[in-house]
Chains A and B, each alone.
Chain A
């Protein structure tokens, strides 16, 4: 068995994890100028909501007569639980956006009691948003620990094993995740290039004042963006719920990959995350395969340092440069 095949097979799960960990963070950072340090905890919310829903917690809610997931046919129970995880996280993100990031709720209350707004939105305030979201992450971890204890009963990994010779095999599910990651990038591309929301979001990034004076309700765009980014974090948590131990601190395991990918990828969400996922996935697979996962993660950071040194605008800026040169030639 050639080592190349093993490396290729190992590449897919690394690519999937990096891309899925990074997209939500990249969207919120790229469009809103908010660094969400609670991104890992949003992923944790997705994993918890998925696992709890799968284990029948929806049936324990008041006013729900029967567990809606328990009555579904077995094959769709897990997807339904995952969808629940995505929606719960998106909704949670919406609440965080309205209360902390935009300050709309505290300001609404303040305007009706003391007659003036008390907080400014966190949009485009990188350091302030980091502090605020870091605080949120600490609260979330402790709150989840208080509510659900130190861990949850996990979900079994679906699809079994995929064997590729010489007694080597990999969980088929991990390969499926690579397909899902590619699909997520494709869908995001369609959203940002083809939909009205995507055009408004891009216009808002490029010139917020002008977008407003063309009738774009930029606050709503931001709200939708944060919900979308949170939903993607929730999807990551949902997809990794079967693979991970469900503990309150599990989000930390995604944060390094997510931040390294955003730094390496640069400003363009889809192209940047795709390139970063490709490069970092390859580097991680290579080093983790030979020297173990610790070496793999160290090398991710080494790549990030090299990219910051030599391509500070990220890999997507290289693509832009090449495209601009083409436009000049043609």
Chain B
């Protein structure tokens, strides 16, 4: 479903990613772990199209999308849940969701009303401005906003960042449920050990801008293995 091949990318002349290869099959939940500053966010932004790679290709659903602008990638089925949520602060919960829904072509399984089944708190807060909600609620809104567009692939950038531990676990469970119920493929980047363990079917390890290892399901049961890639 997603193939990243030999990608080199950065901002202006500072290279951040070098020769990154990874692939995600349909229906999988794949993690990318690594410490702060190894290039995880840049990797997600390159896949979404907000960062243009200097070299390499991104293929999505069998099509080369390397030169496709981000709004077209979104329309072809990529959903992006960025680091720090990036809720539209002055739009209400309902308007934030409508922004996501506006590219849903109507053929979807999940529409705007249905996301309230997963995140009932959003239903109670429909009229509230996005900027006034807590971090955990904003994370739910960001996930819901991506879901209402009915994406085939969800990309999450550090879903646990800045959120209290009890909600972090709930979000991991929600993501697994969404993957099972809707068949949505998920790629997430993370440095929180428990999220990686709870969510990922398999996981790539990233260091200094490139993929250095790949961990399967059995490796992910061993917390020390995960920790060795996250330790400072």
A contacts, CB < 8 Å to B: 196, 199-200, 202-203, 206-207, 209-218, 327
Contact = CB atoms under 8 A, between A and B. Distances in A.
Given A199-B98, A199-B99, A217 B71 contact: yes
Contact of B80 (A196, A213, A327): A213
A211 B99 contact: yes
A178 to B, nearest CB: 30
B149 interface: yes
Interface string B45-69: 0001110000000000000000001
Given A199-B91, A199-B98, A210-B86, A215 B69 contact: no
Given A199-B98, A212-B50, A218 B71 contact: yes
Contacts of B89: 206
B35 interface: no
A212 B102 contact: no
Nearest to A211: B99
B132 A202 contact: no
A72 to B, nearest CB: 40
A214 B99 contact: yes
Interface in B92-130: 95, 98-100, 102-103, 129
Contact of A202 (B78, B91, B102): B91
A202 B50 contact: no
B145 interface: yes
B106 to A, nearest CB: 14
B6 to A, nearest CB: 22
A215 B50 contact: no
Contact of A215 (B71, B95, B132): B71
Complex A-B, nearest 3 residue pairs according to Cβ-Cβ distance, in ascending order: A215-B103, A215-B74, A213-B80
Contact of B86 (A200, A207, A215, A218): A207
Contact of B70 (A199, A206, A213, A327): A213
A62 to B, nearest CB: 39
Contacts of A200: 99, 102
Contact of B75 (A210, A215, A218): A215
B91 A209 contact: no
A327 B131 CA distance: 13
A214 B100 CA distance: 6
A262 to B, nearest CB: 19
B102 A196 contact: yes
B74 A212 contact: yes
A200 B103 CA distance: 12
A250 B75 CA distance: 46
A216 B98 CA distance: 12
Interface string B5-33: 00000000000000000000000000000
Given A209-B70, A209-B86, A217-B69, 17 more contacts: A199-B98, A199-B102, A202-B88, A207-B88, A210-B80, A212-B69, A213-B70, A213-B73, A213-B74, A214-B100, A214-B102, A214-B146, A215-B71, A215-B75, A216-B102, A217-B71, A327-B132
Contacts of B88: 202-203, 206-207, 210
A196 B102 CA distance: 8
Contacts of A215: 71, 74-75, 102-103, 149
B82 interface: yes
Contacts of B95: 199
A179 B102 CA distance: 35
A202 B99 CA distance: 10
Nearest to B130: A206
A263 B102 CA distance: 34
Contact of A213 (B50, B98, B129, B132): B50
6 contacts: A206-B89, A209-B82, A213-B70, A213-B74, A214-B74, A214-B103
B219 interface: no
B90 interface: yes
Contacts of B48: 213
B11 to A, nearest CB: 13
Contacts of B129: 327
A203 B149 CA distance: 16
Contacts of B145: 214
Contacts of B149: 214-215
B102 to A, nearest CB: 6
A214 B82 CA distance: 11
